[in-house]
Each structure stands twice: as C-alpha cells, then as structure tokens.
Structure 1
Amino acid sequence: MTDSTAEERTHVNAEQVAEFLKNNPDFFAGRDELLMQMALPHKRGTAISLIERQLKLYRERDTELHHRFESLVNNARGNDRLFERIRQLVLALLESRDTEQAIESLKDSLDQEFNIEFHNLILFSSHPKRLPVQFESRDIAESVLGTTIAEGNAFCGRLNKQQTEFLFGSQADNIKSIAVAPLNFPDKIGLLVLGSSQEHHFRATLGTLFVSYLGDVLSRVLAQLMDIADDRQGTIKKNP
C-alpha cells in the first residue's frame, strides 16, 4: 500500500468518525475513561483533554455572546437618544410661527443637539426670498448633482469637488463625507445637506432613515409656512 493511499484512507476514516460523532453526540456518555484519554494538540505543543477544550470553546462563545449583547444594548440606547433629539426637533419645527423661526430651530438643533459640523439648507426658487438660506435654480442643481436630485432619494457618502462646492461653498475643502436629505413635498423644493470632516461619518453603507425622515418633515413644514407667508403678502398688496 502506497503512502498516498494510506493518507487517503486515513482522511476518509477521520471524516467517517467525525460524521459518526456528529450523529451521536451522546457517544461518550458512560465512557469517562475513554473521554479522559482523548486529547487535542495545543498551540504550545502540549495536549489538552476534550473536556478542557470544550470548556474553552464554551467560554469563548459566552464571551462573544456577551459582547454582542452589549453591542445591542448600546445600539438601543443610541437609538433612544437619537429618537429623543429627532422628537424635540420635529416639535420645534411644528411649533414654528414662521419660516424664519423654523430655519433657526433647525440650525440650532443641528449645531447643539446633533453636533453636525457643517450643514446648509438649499431651496429651489427663481424668486429668492429674504431668508437665511441658499436659493438655487432647480435646473442648475440637477445639472450639478445629477441623479442625487433627479431621483429624489436621500444619500450618504462622498461627492466630487464641484458638487461639494455647490452644496457648501467656501467650506467645501473641509468636508470629507456628506448626507443629503431631499425636500420632496409638495414637489422638489430643496435640499438639506449635512457634512463632516470625517471621511466615514456619512458613509455610503450608512442607513438613510434619519435624513429621509428629517427631509420629509422639514419639507412639509416649510411648504406650509411659505404658503402662509405668500398668502399674507398677497393680502397686504391687495389692501395697501
């Protein structure tokens, strides 16, 4: 019998033994002496019993499960804090008496509660109003940002230099990652953009639930307040 044939048979026999033990996990019950004779090689060259090895695996698995549990708890706490901040911001927006107050509440919250390094509110209009925001033509915005605007979806990740400069102006050189929240109600009325100096802060794999929700709420609040302001302005013109 050649060495290769012997090795092949040994390999097959080992597989058969492994399959047998897998199908008969209670095989060692009542065979304590046999179990104590079984040993596994250790990295240091010594041998450990199957029981020691099993205990070690149980400890490692227990440690891994504990770390996973801690991670889940920390994520839950983080989500609770995020929800509370969002709740406070939404309430502040809904309680705003006019567009200026809504914009001020938004900026204060992003600065103080969310610690967003860079942010900008862009509204699409060919007739800019006296508001502390950036006004742009929607056609120009779509030509610069492409599908980011055309598809109307929230976005997290990186944009090219021209796009970043369009969104953040002179602050563009400091921004390494971006989140874009389209304002899509009642139509595409603008964008809320958030920026970070950290490359992976707003990474492409990050969920967009938060920015999408914020964009949905903000667009509805601004649309209502701006309509009210336009109605008041029209009334003033009719009744000088």
Structure 2
Amino acid sequence: MQQDEKQLSEKEVAAFLKQHPDFFRKFPDLTEQLDIPHDTGGAVSLVEYQSRLLKEKNTELHSRLQQLIENARRNDRLFEQTRRLTLDLLDAQSIEEVEQSLQDSMRVVYGVDYACITLFVPAMSMQAVTEVEMQHQLLQHFGRKQAICGQLSDEEMELFFHEDNKVGSMAACLLKNDLGILSLGHRSEEYFKSNMDTLFLDYVAEIVSRRLDILL
C-alpha cells in the first residue's frame, strides 16, 4: 500500500525552526550536514555561522557604544567650557571686562579668532554706534532673524568688528533690549556657515545682554 508523502515547503520548514529554536540541540548531528552560504563560497556549520553573525553584531554594538561615550565626553567638555564662560561674564565688573572675558574664552577655548560687542548706546571705550543710519546698516543684515552666520563683504565685516581684521566668516546675534550686537569672527571662510545652528550664540548673547543691562 502506497503511503502519501506530504512535501513541506521552505516557508513551512522555516516557520517550524523559528517555533523550535532548540531543534538542533536535540539533533546536533544535523548541523554537520547543513550547507550554509559563506562569503568565501564554502560551507560552514550552523554554529560557526551563528558565531560569525554574533561577532559582527557585537562589533557594531561596540562601535555604537564608543560613539556614545565620545559624544558624552564632548558634551561634558562643552558644558564645562560654557559654565566657565558664563561665570566669567557674570563676574565681570565693567563692560570692558565683559568684552575681554568674551574675547579670551572665544579665542582660547572655542578657537574663534574675533569676538566683538557693538553697542547702540555710548559706553566708554567699547565700540558704540549711535547714528541711526549706521544702526540701520547693521540691522538690515538680520532681517527678521535674531542671528546670522556666513560670509559678508570686507566692507560689511568692518561694520561688525572693531578693527580692520581679515575675517573670513562670521556669526552675529542681536543683544536683548536693543543694546546692540554680539559678533564672532573667524579667519576661515568655512568656519561659520549660513545653515549652522545658533543656539549657543543665542545663549551667550542672552548672558551678555543681562550683564550689560546691569552695568550700563
């Protein structure tokens, strides 16, 4: 008497093995007969194949962990640098000390070549612009934005910085209460770009504004 044989499809076999992950523990001899594709074109046992996959995944996870650790260290350094800058600005006892603290921190800690505060009110030795027309020329660069970044012409750069410096790119932010403008400059034309984030610049400008509000 001929017995009907049911042919299992590949999907049924795969589904069975998925539901019974310990199958090859019960039949370990079968792993030696399996033909698993390998990069070299040869055949390897299931255990060796799984071991290689786990090793690759472990390497990927280790790389991600290292990246997270490095990002955490970078954030710690940035936090400490920002904290020191904030304390220096708050400790400043004159508007000249505010600008000097800003310049020192930006050059030494952040690698920014120029840092400048331009006020719209007279203030001792700091750069002050009281002429309405000159203020208008400065403000027109901002439009409706609170901060700008990128490149300007040499003539336009001179509006934002005290001296005739070779500024390749700049970032500027309006100070609160219409006090003036905070400007950062770098010799490289690629340092400050038009699409960069200005959150840090906005934060520094707010601290400077509050301190100058008290000292002026």
TM-score, scaled to structure 2: 0.74
For residues 1-240 of structure 1, the aligned pairs below 5 Å read: 21-22=17-18, 25-116=21-112, 118-125=113-120, 128-133=122-127, 135=129, 137-143=134-140, 145-147=141-143, 150-152=144-146, 154=147, 158-161=150-153, 165=157, 166-167=159-160, 170-172=165-167, 174-175=168-169, 178-183=170-175, 185-187=176-178, 189-195=180-186, 197=188, 199=190, 201-202=191-192, 207-226=197-216
Task: Give the counterpart letter for 1:197 in structure 2.
Answer: S
In 2: Cα distance, 1:22 partner to 1:135 partner = 75
CA 1:23/1:207 → structure 2, altered by over 3 Å: closer, same or farther?
A: farther
Q: Contact between 1:192 and 1:215, CA under 8 Å: does it hold in 2? A: no
**Larger fraction in helix:** 1
By how many angstroms is 1:194 displaced? 4.1
The secondary structure found in structure 2 opposite 1:123 is strand
Stretches of structure 2 lacking an aligned partner (at least 5 in a row): 1-8
By how many angstroms is 1:186 displaced? 2.4
CA 1:121/1:76 → structure 2, altered by over 3 Å: closer, same or farther?
A: same
CA 1:220/1:49 → structure 2, altered by over 3 Å: closer, same or farther?
A: same
By how many angstroms is 1:195 displaced? 2.9
Task: Tell me how many residue pairs correspond in the alignment.
Answer: 202
The secondary structure found in structure 2 opposite 1:114 is coil
The secondary structure found in structure 1 opposite 2:79 is helix
Stretches of structure 1 lacking an aligned partner (at least 5 in a row): 1-12, 227-240
Q: Contact between 2:34 and 2:45, CA under 8 Å: does it hold in 1? A: yes
CA 1:133/1:83 → structure 2, altered by over 3 Å: closer, same or farther?
A: farther
